[in-house]
Amino acid sequence: MLFTELGLSDAILRAVTEKGYTTPTPIQAQAIPAVLAGGDLLAGAQTGTGKTAAFTLPILHRLASAAKNPNLQGTPIRTLILTPTRELAAQIEESVRQYGKYVKLTSAVIFGGVGINPQIKVLKHGVDILVATPGRLLDHMQQGTINLNHVEILVLDEADRMLDMGFIKDIKRVLAVLPKKRQNLLFSATFSEEIKTLADGLLNAPAMIEVARRNSTVEIIAQKVHPVDRDKKHPMLTHLIKTHQWSQVLVFTRTKHGANKLVEQLEKDAISAMAIHGNKSQSARTKALAEFKGGNLQVLVATDIAARGIDIDQLPHVVNYDLPNVAEDYVHRIGRTGRAGAAGEAVSLVCVDEFSLLKDIEKLIKRELPREIIDGFEPDPHAKAQPIQLRSGGGGGRNQQPRSSAGAGKPRSGAPRSGPAQANGNVAVRSSAQHRSGGRGR
Ligand code: AMP
């Protein structure tokens, strides 16, 4: 199957070719014709499968080929893409811009944790495609600074994550104001009862597509467990980085506090490190990610939610400094490496407290991970397990939590509503020169 066989316009194919893609991924091969046909879609696909292009390309095609209602003033929002985290929102909008480089459409991204006024300005001006996190979108709805009356296509991306993060009510309030007649695309990595209920209420005779779960990609990633004592994890990580001369390693910790502490420790060891998590300022996150992607930063320490959707090509090393409390997050984490057939390596530093989490992971991926004890770091065979602290700060020792510890439930005061951010600034509008001269009266 070639991209040219999917029915996309030359302008879009040109942008795809410039990105260097030759063949569509399985989700693209199936979703693109379905979306072009105009029907609803229910797709099971995770980050890394090419799902962003799977919905973005046909949306661009449809919007570009179907002129907007000439009676409408300005640029109404014709496509709304909802996604759980700021990072993902920023990345999707970036993709919209890249894939839509040669079509006359504009896009913007809005998310919380940053000033609302520049967003209001952009929304007033109008864009064809809006990418948003639910919380901030709702803020705009409440303030009357957004008009969603002309949305033709709705995308719920990573719907399972949005529900995990407590966004269901927000999503329902958004759905309630959208025009009844529209195309709905729902993407989710998993299909819980809650997702099925949402899909039943939202989708009309959807095309259903499920592509291989990440679990199957797990095959190409070399995975190892290093048993270690709780308090030896940091020296072990330094030892691994230094002896193997790892130059770009993504390290996962369970808590924000743990991420900060580890950064301090690594820096004392002369290893350049930065943390990326929900408590970090927008500019700190942007900087950390850019430095890491640019190869100037040796270690990026992240929490699960912060790292979700981060797309770094050919990341060679992922370290689970702490195992995730949800087995599926392990698969998401290690999926950051070994992309596009590149060999990747994922190592987990596991202490006695985490043995039951390790068991859950092995059950999920249906294989036992090889254990390798490192000389000088032999774990104490008599060590007793202690309860795991899942959250930074308060409480401690609580083992029962919704799926995502960092983003679960309602936002805390002062904390950003929808996870971490990236992107330069809070809002980005695309409109190349030739688009502007496209005579849309903007
Ligand atoms: P996504 O699942 O949308 O996060 O995409 C994962 C990665 O795959 C991104 O880096 C895309 O740029 C890349 N990608 C998407 N489609 C293709 C394709 N057809 N061929 C090669 N790479 C692709």
Ligand 1 touching residue 311 (CB < 6 A): yes
The more confidently predicted of residues 159 and 329 is 159
Look at residue 79 and tell me if it is in a domain: yes
* Cα(55)–Cα(376) distance, integer angstroms: 50
In this structure, the answer to whether residues 197 and 117 fall within a common structural domain is yes
- Report the percent of the chain where pLDDT is more than 70: 82
Mutate which of 1, 3, 19 for ligand 1 pocket (most atoms within 8 A of beta carbon): 19
- 308 φ, ψ to 5°? -60, 125
* Cα(427)–Cα(147) distance, integer angstroms: 17
**48 CA distance to ligand 1 middle (Å):** 6
Query: In this predicted structure, what is the pLDDT of residue 410?
Result: 34
**428 neighbors 96 (Cβ within 8 angstroms):** no
Centre a 10 Å sphere on the Cβ of residue 355 and count the other Cβ atoms it contains: 13
Q: Taking residues 268-294, what's their average pLDDT?
A: 85
pLDDT band at 96 (very low <50, low <70, confident <90, very high): very high
Q: Looking at residue 113, which CATH number applies to its domain?
A: 3.40.50.300
- Does the structure show a pLDDT above 50 at 392? no
Last residue of a domain, one of 323, 345, 365: 365
Per-residue pLDDT reduced to its tens digit, 47-93: 778 899 999 999 999 999 987 677 777 889 999 999 998 888 999 99
Q: Taking residues 351-379, what's their average pLDDT?
A: 92
Last residue of a domain, one of 337, 365, 393: 365
Ligand 1 touching residue 335 (CB < 6 A): no
In this structure, the answer to whether residues 226 and 296 fall within a common structural domain is yes
pLDDT band at 288 (very low <50, low <70, confident <90, very high): confident
In this structure, the answer to whether residues 209 and 233 fall within a common structural domain is no
Query: In this predicted structure, what is the pLDDT of residue 236?
Result: 97
In this structure, the answer to whether residues 335 and 421 fall within a common structural domain is no
* Amino acid, res. 199: A
In this structure, the answer to whether residues 93 and 72 fall within a common structural domain is yes
Look at residue 377 and tell me if it is in a domain: no
Look at residue 59 and tell me if it is in a domain: yes
* Cα(229)–Cα(286) distance, integer angstroms: 34
Per-residue pLDDT reduced to its tens digit, 295-306: 899 999 998 777
In this structure, the answer to whether residues 240 and 139 fall within a common structural domain is no
For 413, counting Cβ atoms within 10 Å of its Cβ (0-12 exposed, 13-18 middle, 19+ buried), the class is: exposed
Q: Is the dihedral of CA 214, 215, 221, 223 positive or negative?
A: positive
- State the closest ligand 1 atom to the C-alpha of 3, by its place in the atom list counted from 1: 19
Instruction: Tally DSSP H helices, then E strands, for the chain.
Output: 17, 13
Helix or strand or coil: residue 355? helix
**150 CA distance to ligand 1 middle (Å):** 30
* Cα(121)–Cα(140) distance, integer angstroms: 11
Half-sphere exposure of 225 (CA within 13 A, CB side): 21
Q: Which of 122-136, 139-153, 289-303 has the lowest mean pLDDT?
A: 289-303
State the chain's mean pLDDT as an integer. 83
Look at residue 14 and tell me if it is in a domain: yes
Look at residue 394 and tell me if it is in a domain: no
For 387, counting Cβ atoms within 10 Å of its Cβ (0-12 exposed, 13-18 middle, 19+ buried), the class is: exposed
**138 CA distance to ligand 1 middle (Å):** 30
Query: In this predicted structure, what is the pLDDT of residue 427?
Result: 37
Six-digit token pair at 289? 């990610």
**273-276 and 79-82 strand pairing:** unpaired
- Does the structure show a pLDDT above 90 at 358? yes
**339 CA distance to ligand 1 middle (Å):** 9
Ligand 1 touching residue 229 (CB < 6 A): no
In this structure, the answer to whether residues 275 and 324 fall within a common structural domain is yes
* Cα(361)–Cα(370) distance, integer angstroms: 13
Query: In this predicted structure, what is the pLDDT of residue 103?
Result: 96
In this structure, the answer to whether residues 190 and 287 fall within a common structural domain is no
In this structure, the answer to whether residues 191 and 231 fall within a common structural domain is no
**398 CA distance to ligand 1 middle (Å):** 38
In this structure, the answer to whether residues 358 and 280 fall within a common structural domain is yes
In this structure, the answer to whether residues 195 and 261 fall within a common structural domain is no
- Does the structure show a pLDDT above 50 at 28? yes
Ligand 1 touching residue 24 (CB < 6 A): yes
**129-132 and 79-82 strand pairing:** parallel
Mutate which of 13, 52, 85, 310 for ligand 1 pocket (most atoms within 8 A of beta carbon): 52
Query: In this predicted structure, what is the pLDDT of residue 309?
Result: 55
- Does the structure show a pLDDT above 80 at 178? yes
* Cα(300)–Cα(49) distance, integer angstroms: 23
Domain around 66: 3-214+417-437
Query: In this predicted structure, what is the pLDDT of residue 425?
Result: 30
- Residue where the block lists tokens 């209602």: 69
**53 CA distance to ligand 1 middle (Å):** 7
* Longest Cα separation, the chain: 76
Tell me which residue has its CA closest to atom 13 in ligand 1. 50
- Does the structure show a pLDDT above 60 at 340? no
In this structure, the answer to whether residues 149 and 13 fall within a common structural domain is yes
* Helix-helix angle 117-125:134-143, to 10 degrees: 70
**115 CA distance to ligand 1 middle (Å):** 31
Tell me which residue has its CA closest to atom 17 in ligand 1. 50
Query: In this predicted structure, what is the pLDDT of residue 406?
Result: 31
pLDDT band at 313 (very low <50, low <70, confident <90, very high): low
Look at residue 398 and tell me if it is in a domain: no
Domain count, the chain: 2
Query: In this predicted structure, what is the pLDDT of residue 314?
Result: 62
**349 CA distance to ligand 1 middle (Å):** 30
